[in-house]
Amino acid sequence: MRALAQRARVAAREPVRAWTHRPRSRSTTHAKRKGFAEFLRVGGVDADDARSWYNGRRPLRPGARTPMRRVPSEIAPVPPYARDGHLPAYDDGTWQLATTAADREGMRAAGRFAAEVLDMAELMIVPGVTTTDDIDVAVHEMIVARGAYPSPLNYGGFPKSVCTSLNECICHGIPDDTVIESGDIINIDVTVYLNGYHGDTSRTIMCGEVTDEVRRLVETTERALDAAIAVCGPNVPVRRIGATIHKIADEGKYGVVEKFVGHGVGKVFHSGPTVKHHRNNDPGELKVGTTFTIEPMLTIGTTRDKMWKDGWTSVTADGKWTAQCEHTLLVTETGVEILTASPLRAQRAADAAAKTTA
C-alpha cells in the first residue's frame, strides 16, 4: 500500500467529496431520469467510456459513502496520523528491520491478524447483496474489537478502514454503496496496526462465475507474487523481484503497473525499500530482518491510470480489468517468511490435495 502515500498527497490538498448518485445495479432509474450521458459524467467518468465497456460491465463510478468510522478512544497505541490525518514523510533510505525477537514476534502477530481479517472479508461476500461499504464495516469492527487500529483510516485523510478495488480499479478504491455482482473481481487491501506494528495484505477475489480471461488474470497475478517471494532472501538484489514479476506477466501478455510499488512496513506504514514490480536497475539488496511488501498489479490492457476526483481511486485508462495481491514478508537468515499467509487459502489447498489423493 505504498501507493496510498502517493495518493494521500493529493487527497490531503482536496477534501473528500460526498458523491450523491447511486452506483451500478441501484442506478437504473436515476440514469433514465438524468440522461445516460450525464449519468456517466458524474464523478469524472466520461460518457465516451460507454463505448469501451469491458466484460459486460459499464465503467465504475463513485457511489454514496457513509461517514468516516470512529475508533474507540481506548484503542492504543494508534499511529501518529490517526488523530489529525497528517501524512508521514516517506523515507526510502530508511529500511525497517525486525532484528530483535520482540520486533519479529510483533510483526508476525500483526501479519497473522491482517490475514485473518482478509479471510473474513472474503467469506462475507454474497454477490448481488454485499456492498463494498459492508466490507468496510466488518473489517473496521473486527480490527477495533481486537484492540487494533485499521491502518488506512485517516492516513493522509483516507476516509475508510480498508481499500476495496473492483474490476478496473487498480488500487485505493473507497468503500461505498456499490453492490458486488457475480462475475466481478475485487481486491480487498487490509492493513492493521497491532501493538505498534503494521501488517499489510491484499488479494483479488473472484465473485461468483467469472470469465476464463478474468480467471487467468487473477491466477497469473497470484503466481507472479508467489514467484517473486520465492526469489527473496538475504543479499538478494531488490530488482530481482521486479524482473521475476515482469517475466511472468510478459508470458501471459499482461501489463505491469509501474506507478504503484511495494514498500517497507513495520512500526511505520510506508518506508524503504521501494519494491518495483517491473524490470529495473535500482541498487540495493535485501537484508536480514527487512520487513516489506510485494504487491504486483497486472492488467489485461493498458497500465496507464485515471485518477478519480476523490484523489485516491485509480482506474485503468481503458477500462479493462486489473488484479493485485500482496503479502508482508520478513527476510530471515535462511530465506524469507510470509507474515500474512492466509489460513483460509491454506485450508482450501489442503482440502484440494486431499481430494486429489483420495
Can you say which residues are annotated as belonging to the binding site?
Answer: 172, 189, 200, 263, 270, 295, 326
127: how many CB neighbours lie within 10 A of its CB? 14
Question: What is the rounded CA–CA span in Å between residue 156 and residue 339?
Answer: 26
- Main-chain phi, psi angles of 321, to 5 degrees: -85, 160
The C-alpha cell 467518468 sits at 45
Question: What is the rounded CA–CA span in Å between residue 185 and residue 182?
Answer: 9
Binding residues for substrate: 172, 270
**3-class SS of residue 263:** strand
Question: What is the rounded CA–CA span in Å between residue 162 and residue 342?
Answer: 17
C-alpha cell at 169: 480499479
Find residue 264's DSSP bridge partners.
271, 292
What lies within 8 Å, CB to CB, of 48 at 6+ separation is none
Question: What is the rounded CA–CA span in Å between residue 26 and residue 63?
Answer: 10
**Which of 331, 216, 327, 354 minimizes the C-alpha distance to 284?**
331
**Residues 249 and 298 sit within 8 Å (Cβ to Cβ):** yes
| Amino acid, res. 78 | V
> Cα dist. 260→101, 200, 220 in Å?
31, 15, 18
The C-alpha cell 490531503 sits at 12
Question: What is the rounded CA–CA span in Å between residue 253 and residue 45?
Answer: 27
CA 106-108-113 angle, to 5 degrees, is: 100
Question: What is the rounded CA–CA span in Å between residue 19 and residue 8?
Answer: 19
In the chain, the largest separation of any two C-alpha atoms, in whole Å, equals 63
Binding residues for a divalent metal cation: 189, 200, 263, 295, 326
Query: What is the per-residue DSSP string for 226-261?
Result: HHHHHT--TT-BTHHHHHHHHHHHHHHT-EE--SS-
